[in-house]
Amino acid sequence: MTFNDKIETPEIENLNIVDFEPMPSPEEIHARVPLTDRARETIVRGREALRNILDRKDHRVFVVVGPCSIHDTAAALEYANRLKKLSDEVDDALMLVMRVYFEKPRTTVGWKGFINDPEMNDSFKIGKGMELARALLRDLAELGLPAGTEALDSITPQFLGDLVTWAAIGARTTESQTHREMSSGLSTPVGFKNGTNGDIGIAINAILSASRPHSFLGINGRGNTSIVRTRGNRYGHVVLRGGDGRPNYDTVSISIAEDALGKAGLPPNIVVDCSHANSFKKAELQPLVLADVVNQIRFGNRSLVGAMIESNLVGGNQSIPDDPKRLKYGCSVTDACVDWETTEKMLRDAADKLREVLPRR
């Protein structure tokens, strides 16, 4: 072979990419589903209330309650209307935030959530999913109901962040630098879950990291790749969800968490997730977990500021059938949930037991 002989060069880029499909920019999605004055008022008031709870200026306990994941916006709106009425009833003791999870992390594979695959048939119409997700959040805010969601994809907040009141970083992503950086720029208080193995140190490190300024790659409202520079988010807090099949909401675990937060120089703000390992993944045990949390507060605990409940119109869960039209209305397609009647009882009982105690905390 001589110097001038032509060399066959193999392709070395995007070898496993099938296609690049254009995605509407955040500004385009915002224009299609604009923020209304009523929705803006809900978001502003909700975020202020959460900050005041974390700063101990508001004595209430906040509860993030709702479906494990959203897959049917009609059922979600029916749930939201019921929750708003209940919220008005217990508002003096509990601040209710509807759990509105559009993205689901998977251990291996499976349905990744409403934004990724809104039609639940592997068509992956992500642009449609994003627009429908924004429309639902806007509708909830129009009702006067704050929404909480998991921040999973690092660019999703540019599309939806103005309609979110509270954000969670899940157990699988709390240790991720990308999610800590993203959290430092979120406009909401952020709950960091302990690791799947139960390690609370991972969540504490995440809170510390997110409280600091960061610079990282992201997108702006026009969808352009940008260097995002943040000022840090001082409203990070721990969410205990158990780990390795063991609960961590008992008084000993709470005391250990308080001590760890104190040593890190962080406020003792603790939220208990009543689902996952704390209820051994048995939805019917969630009321017992919440009752234990309520009793700890009644007997003098000052660090427990919130709880999470997986709840739906219908209890339990279901597999996704080949034909999505065969889905049972109002029933989870991911983790099992308590039904609406149980949810009402849980929250009314909690409010009744805490109503006289909380002002003296």
- pLDDT 10s per residue in the chain (361 long)? 565 666 666 789 999 999 999 999 999 999 999 999 999 999 999 999 999 999 999 999 999 999 999 999 999 999 999 999 999 999 999 999 999 999 987 766 789 999 999 999 999 999 999 999 999 999 999 999 999 999 999 999 999 999 999 999 999 999 999 999 999 999 999 999 999 999 999 999 999 999 999 999 999 999 999 999 999 999 999 999 999 999 999 999 999 999 999 999 999 999 999 999 999 999 999 999 999 999 999 999 999 999 999 999 999 999 999 998 999 999 999 999 999 999 999 999 999 999 999 999 8
What sign does the dihedral 119-123-126-127 (CA atoms) show?
Answer: negative
Q: Kind and range of the H or E element at 142?
A: helix 126-143
Domains in the chain: boundaries:
34-53+61-360
Give the end-to-end CA distance of the chain in Å, rounded to a whole number: 84
Q: How many CB atoms lie within 10 A of CB 266?
A: 17
Q: How far apart are CA 347 and CA 353, in angstroms?
A: 10
pLDDT score at 3: 55
Give the bridge partners for 304, in sequence order. Answer: 270
C-alpha distances in angstroms, 338 versus 63, 249, 275, 285, 313?
A: 15, 19, 10, 9, 8
**CB-CB contact of 136 with 73 (8 Å):** yes
Q: How far apart are CA 200 and CA 65, in angstroms?
A: 22
| DSSP structure class, residue 154 | T
pLDDT score at 1: 53
Q: How many helical (H) and strand (E) elements, i.e. helices and strands, does the chain have?
A: 10, 10
pLDDT score at 65: 99
Give the bridge partners for 306, in sequence order. Answer: 62, 271
Give the bridge partners for 167, in sequence order. Answer: 149, 190
Q: Helix, strand, or coil here: 9?
A: coil
Q: How far apart are CA 106 and CA 25, in angstroms?
A: 26
DSSP H stretches of helix in 248-285: 251-263
Question: Which CATH number is associated with domain 34-53+61-360?
Answer: 3.20.20.70
Q: How far apart are CA 84 and CA 46, in angstroms?
A: 13
| DSSP structure class, residue 171 | T
| DSSP structure class, residue 319 | P
Q: Which candidate, 113, 114, 143, 126, places its Cα nearest to that of 39? A: 143
**Residue that has been written with the tokens 């003792």 in this structure:** 268
Instruction: Return the beta strands (E) in the chain as ranges.
Output: 61-66, 94-99, 147-150, 166-169, 190-193, 215-219, 225-229, 236-240, 270-273, 304-310
